[in-house]
């Protein structure tokens, strides 16, 4: 019986190969998209799962009155381990991203930017295992340094052992050397991706609770009440901060501080203190993948039901001959399974072809054909699922025909299943409309982000990668003069941060009795001039005022608003043990991009609690850019001895442009999704219109004989489809509005919703429907009525 059903299935598929190609092609394209999305979802949600302690590791963060952060101070980890027996281990890490370090061996050199410092306990918690095993450093001073396998091979080509090696740091004339203890595999599928690791028994020694520059990790015992532990750590942290404190305002402020525990599983996609945009994009991408597959299944179902009349007599005869409905259902499901199986094979070919572009877009290295890929068990399940979802109803419809009706020829005039067929078509176009509206809105938001005034100018500014610190203006002044002597260099400055979206440090500052937290950026002269930041009130730092290097500060508009300042220039704001005199108000500028609101920020030249000033920025005339860069490269060994021959730079506008990366990814995804959904919907509409038109050939012939014009017939055929498309637009409009509003709400600075995208999407779908249906109707309209009626 199975052999007979298989033969019948193959014969029917071949006889209707046009519809079969549409079914298989649409389903294959949708499945290919689904395969890529499923692989990406699995990759993104499995970060650090190779860690055996994965489910018991937490980040300890702190909550201040006006911000939340993962940065804590070194003593906290030790205090937690000593006071709470449910904590098996506690350690701290610090990741350097502020400068690139040149490491050299002979003529070979690498430039490391992500050097992870970790104490021995943190290395154990995070499963950081160098090749040969994790060794405990001897004593308090020793640091065991490891480089990634790739960097080791670059420095020591052909190296086969794991013995320690001597290297030099910085320029060849720096004289700074060190020992690399061995190699370590850099797990890029981890939140702790690095160029190298430095492990010590203890790091941050001597730094008090005021130095919040580290990340604290704890490993708890299975079954620990995490909420209770979180509360106990908060009480411990407050108690540590209150030791020796007598000032009542400070005591009240400390009592408002708390801590939180964030699972390691949250860190990649949705940390409690951080941006959850990657998670939202992953969810959006996953929903798109599922919707595209659903649309393809709907297409499949619709076309199968549309062909019902062609199989009606076959079913009627088989039932008269004694076939049971179950047998017929199995037969039709077999046909559908064969189509789905072919579609799955074709989908894998499509997915493999598209994978390089997908990997490049999302900066990942996914592969279909590897042993650990979950697709090998997921795809068979998906295949069975889509066979059932797309095929069960058509199979039941086809197997349920009544022999007496279909053999008398009455089925063709029946309205059976038309409501479902039309409803599925409306659903298809509703999804397509949502994607079109979404694409238009994403394009508009990105256009707005690229064209909106940032409040500063990154154009013609280069960021020089430098490892020397210039905390004192007199140390940077000789370098500034040498750089300004190069033709084309208009200004030069150095700071702790560049406006590239990265977070600044924060500290508590008091103004007229108000204690609030402000971001701080430590700068040098010409910082605001180099970035073309506008002055709202007062002045910027100037060499003519000697006190500017001691206790002058510039604040931005947001900081003034936070304190409710009126005429703040000349007034005092205190922080980090210094009474700063406010000399100017800078206009707000979007240093963190468009997703985050401009942070209240204070700028100063001297800050005992600040970071090292290593970020050198130069403003260069556009016409002289090439010559100036060449001169800087050739003269850099004399300009900055510590960097020597290692002159490296980035254009600040390109660096800032990386903040748009996630939204550009979303734009590309929506563009592809919109094309796919429209394509699949049009494929279904094309085949469906062909079926409907062929079924009305005699009606059209009669109308033409009775005097109907071609335009009237076109209008007749198109009208029902246009109604369905209009209904789809009406249904999808509110849904698209809600989804787009939720997306736009993730931006602090965004466009406003307008009716234009909804109108454009309606016009696009109506136009495509008219073209698709009219192409099919054209043959019937131009046919000779005699050919359709000569057998009647």
597 with 477, same domain?
Answer: yes
- Domain end call among 388, 416, 444: 416
pLDDT number for residue 711: 79
35 with 90, same domain?
Answer: no
304 with 372, same domain?
Answer: yes
208 with 174, same domain?
Answer: yes
Q: Is the pLDDT of residue 407 over 60?
A: no
pLDDT number for residue 721: 84
Residue bearing the bigger pLDDT, 611 or 94 = 94
Residue bearing the bigger pLDDT, 172 or 557 = 557
Q: Is the pLDDT of residue 215 over 70?
A: yes
Residue bearing the bigger pLDDT, 478 or 415 = 478
> Which region among 213-222, 369-378, 556-565, 614-623 has the lowest average model confidence (pLDDT)?
369-378
Specify if 518 maps to a domain. Answer: yes
Question: Among 329-333, 533-537, 682-686, which range has the highest average pLDDT?
Answer: 533-537
300 with 411, same domain?
Answer: yes
What's the mean per-residue pLDDT of the chain? 84
State the CB neighbour count (10 A cutoff) for residue 178. 14
Name residues whose C-beta falls within 8 Å of residue 96's C-beta, 6 or more positions apart in sequence.
Answer: 113, 114, 115, 116, 117
Cα Rg of the chain (Å, integer):
34
How would DSSP label each residue in 234-266? HHHHHHHHHTT---HHHHHHHHT-EEEEEEGGG
pLDDT in tens, 528-584: 999 999 999 999 999 999 899 999 999 999 999 999 998 899 999 998 889 999 999
Burial (CB count <10 Å: 0-12, 13-18, 19+), residue 648? middle
Mean per-residue pLDDT for 576-595? 92
217 with 123, same domain?
Answer: yes
Q: Is the pLDDT of residue 787 over 70?
A: no
Burial (CB count <10 Å: 0-12, 13-18, 19+), residue 361? middle
Q: How far is CA 509 from CA 516, 517, 524, 606, 678, in A?
A: 6, 6, 21, 15, 56
* Cβ–Cβ under 8 Å, residues 197 and 115: yes
Residue bearing the bigger pLDDT, 322 or 587 = 587
pTM: 0.80
Split at pLDDT 50, 70, 90, the class of 306 is low
312 with 338, same domain?
Answer: yes
Specify if 717 maps to a domain. Answer: no
Residue bearing the bigger pLDDT, 501 or 155 = 155
Q: Is the pLDDT of residue 742 over 70?
A: yes
Bridge partner list, 553: 582, 604
> Structurally, how many domains does the chain consist of?
3
CA distance 127 to 583: 50
Percent of the chain having pLDDT more than 70?
Answer: 89
Mean per-residue pLDDT for 205-231? 89
261 with 282, same domain?
Answer: no
**Residue listed under structure tokens 């007979």:** 4
How would DSSP label each residue in 201-224? S-SSTT--TT---EEEEEEEPTT-
Classify 501 in phi/psi space as left (phi over 0), alpha (psi -120 to 50) or beta.
left
Mean per-residue pLDDT for 82-109? 86
Split at pLDDT 50, 70, 90, the class of 414 is very low
Q: Is the pLDDT of residue 506 over 50?
A: yes
**Residue listed under structure tokens 């068979």:** 380
Question: Among 65-69, 118-122, 342-346, which range has the highest average pLDDT?
Answer: 118-122
Q: Is the pLDDT of residue 169 over 50?
A: yes
Characterize 675-705 residue by residue with b for buried, 16 or more Cβ atoms within 10 angstroms of its Cβ, and e for exposed: ebbbbbbbbbbbbbbbbbbeebbeebbebbe
Q: Is the pLDDT of residue 436 over 80?
A: yes
Question: Among 347-351, 369-373, 514-518, which range has the highest average pLDDT?
Answer: 347-351
Q: How far is CA 61 from CA 116, 226, 234, 334, 548, in A?
A: 19, 14, 10, 57, 35
Mean per-residue pLDDT for 338-359? 88
CA distance 7 to 450: 59
74 with 35, same domain?
Answer: no
Mean per-residue pLDDT for 125-147? 86
Specify if 527 maps to a domain. Answer: yes
State the CB neighbour count (10 A cutoff) for residue 65. 12
224 with 281, same domain?
Answer: no
CA distance 411 to 367: 50
Torsion over CA: 743, 749, 753, 758 (sign) = negative
Both tokens of 200, joined, read 């010590």
Torsion over CA: 501, 504, 508, 509 (sign) = negative
Name residues whose C-beta falls within 8 Å of residue 488's C-beta, 6 or more positions apart in sequence.
Answer: 620, 621, 623, 624, 625, 627, 628
Specify if 651 maps to a domain. Answer: no
> Which region among 34-43, 444-453, 750-759, 775-784 has the lowest average model confidence (pLDDT)?
775-784
Pairing label, strands 176-180, 108-112: unpaired
Percent of the chain having pLDDT more than 90?
Answer: 33
- Domain end call among 642, 667, 682: 642
97 with 234, same domain?
Answer: yes
Specify if 661 maps to a domain. Answer: no
Specify if 692 maps to a domain. Answer: no
pLDDT number for residue 743: 85
Q: Which domain holds residue 191?
A: 54-266
pLDDT in tens, 668-680: 888 888 888 888 8
**Residue listed under structure tokens 């799962």:** 49
pLDDT in tens, 30-83: 888 888 888 889 889 989 998 999 999 999 999 887 778 898 999 999 999 999
Specify if 431 maps to a domain. Answer: no
Pairing label, strands 505-511, 572-575: antiparallel
Mean per-residue pLDDT for 453-473? 89
581 with 619, same domain?
Answer: yes
- Domain end call among 577, 607, 642: 642
Specify if 781 maps to a domain. Answer: no
């Amino acid at each position: 019986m199975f052999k007979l059903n298989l033969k019948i299935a193959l014969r029917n598929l071949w006889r209707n190969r046009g519809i079969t190609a549409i079914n298989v092609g649409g389903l294959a394209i949708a499945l290919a998209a689904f395969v890529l999305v499923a692989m990406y979802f699995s990759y993104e949600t499995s970060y650090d799962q190779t860690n055996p302690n994965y489910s018991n590791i937490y980040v300890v963060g702190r909550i201040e009155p006006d911000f939340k952060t993962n940065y804590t101070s070194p003593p906290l980890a030790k205090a937690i381990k000593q006071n709470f027996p449910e904590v098996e281990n506690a350690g701290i890490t610090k990741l350097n991203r502020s400068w690139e370090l040149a490491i050299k061996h002979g003529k070979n050199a690498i430039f490391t930017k992500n050097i992870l410092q970790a104490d021995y306990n943190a290395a154990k918690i995070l499963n950081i295992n160098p090749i040969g095993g994790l060794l405990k450093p001897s004593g308090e001073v020793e640091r065991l340094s490891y480089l990634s396998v790739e960097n080791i091979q670059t420095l020591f080509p052909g190296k086969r052992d794991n013995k320690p090696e001597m290297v030099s740091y910085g320029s060849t004339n720096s004289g700074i050397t060190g020992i690399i203890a061995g190699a370590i595999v850099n797990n890029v599928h981890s939140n702790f991706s690095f160029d190298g690791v430095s492990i010590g028994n203890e790091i941050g020694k001597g730094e008090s609770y005021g130095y919040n520059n580290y990340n604290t990790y704890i490993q708890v015992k299975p079954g620990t009440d995490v909420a209770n532990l979180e509360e106990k750590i908060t009480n411990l942290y407050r108690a540590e901060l209150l030791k020796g404190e007598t000032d009542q305002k400070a005591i009240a402020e400390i009592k408002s501080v708390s801590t939180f525990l964030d699972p390691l599983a949250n860190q990649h996609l949705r940390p409690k203190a951080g941006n959850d945009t990657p998670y939202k994009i992953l969810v959006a991408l996953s929903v798109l993948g599922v919707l595209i597959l659903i649309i393809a299944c709907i297409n499949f179902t619709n076309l199968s039901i549309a062909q019902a009349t062609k199989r009606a007599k076959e079913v009627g005869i088989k039932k008269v001959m004694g076939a049971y409905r179950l047998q017929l259902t199995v037969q039709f499901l077999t046909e559908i399974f064969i189509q789905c199986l072919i579609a799955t094979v074709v989908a894998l070919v499509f997915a493999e072809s598209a994978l390089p572009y997908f990997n490049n877009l999302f900066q990942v290295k996914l592969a279909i054909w590897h042993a650990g890929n979950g697709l090998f068990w997921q795809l068979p399940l998906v295949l069975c699922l889509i066979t059932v979802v797309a095929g069960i109803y058509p199979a039941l419809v086809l197997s349920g025909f009544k022999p007496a009706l279909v053999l008398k020829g009455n089925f063709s005039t029946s309205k059976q299943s038309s409501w479902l067929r039309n409803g599925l078509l409306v659903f298809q176009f509703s999804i397509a409309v949502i994607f079109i509206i979404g694409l238009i809105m994403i394009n508009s938001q990105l256009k707005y982000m690229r064209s909106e005034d940032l409040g500063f100018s990154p154009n013609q500014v280069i960021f020089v990668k430098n490892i020397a610190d210039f905390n004192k203006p007199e140390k940077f002044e000789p370098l500034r003069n040498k750089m300004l002597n190069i033709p084309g260099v208009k200004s030069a400055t150095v700071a702790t941060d560049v406006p590239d979206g990265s977070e600044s440090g924060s500290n508590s500052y008091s103004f007229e009795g108000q204690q609030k937290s402000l971001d701080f950026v430590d700068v040098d002269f010409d910082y605001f001039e180099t970035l073309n930041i506008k002055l709202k009130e007062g002045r910027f730092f100037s060499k003519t005022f000697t006190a500017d290097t001691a206790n002058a500060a510039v604040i931005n508009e947001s900081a003034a608003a936070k304190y409710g300042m009126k005429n703040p220039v000349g007034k005092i704001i205190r922080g980090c043990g210094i009474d700063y005199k406010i000399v100017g108000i800078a206009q707000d500028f979007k240093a963190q991009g468009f997703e985050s609101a401009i942070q209240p920020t204070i700028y100063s030249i001297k800050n005992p609690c600040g970071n090292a000033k290593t970020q050198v920025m130069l403003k260069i005339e556009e016409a002289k850019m090439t010559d100036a860069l060449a001169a800087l490269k050739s003269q850099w060994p004399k300009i900055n001895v510590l960097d020597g021959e290692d002159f490296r730079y980035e254009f600040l506008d390109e660096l800032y442009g990386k903040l748009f990366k996630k939204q550009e990814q979303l734009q590309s995804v929506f563009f592809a999704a919109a094309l796919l959904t429209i394509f699949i919907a049009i494929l279904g509409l094309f085949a469906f219109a062909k079926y409907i038109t062929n079924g009305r050939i005699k009606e059209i012939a009669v109308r033409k004989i009775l005097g109907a014009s071609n335009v009237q017939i076109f209008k007749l055929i198109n009208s029902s489809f246009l109604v369905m498309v209009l209904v789809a637009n009406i249904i999808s409009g509110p849904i698209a509005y809600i989804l787009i509003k939720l997306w736009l709400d993730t931006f602090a600075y965004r466009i406003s919703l307008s009716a234009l995208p909804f109108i454009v999407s309606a016009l696009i779908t109506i136009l495509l429907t008219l073209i698709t249906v009219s192409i099919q109707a054209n043959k019937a309209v131009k046919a000779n009525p005699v050919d359709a009626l000569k057998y009647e």
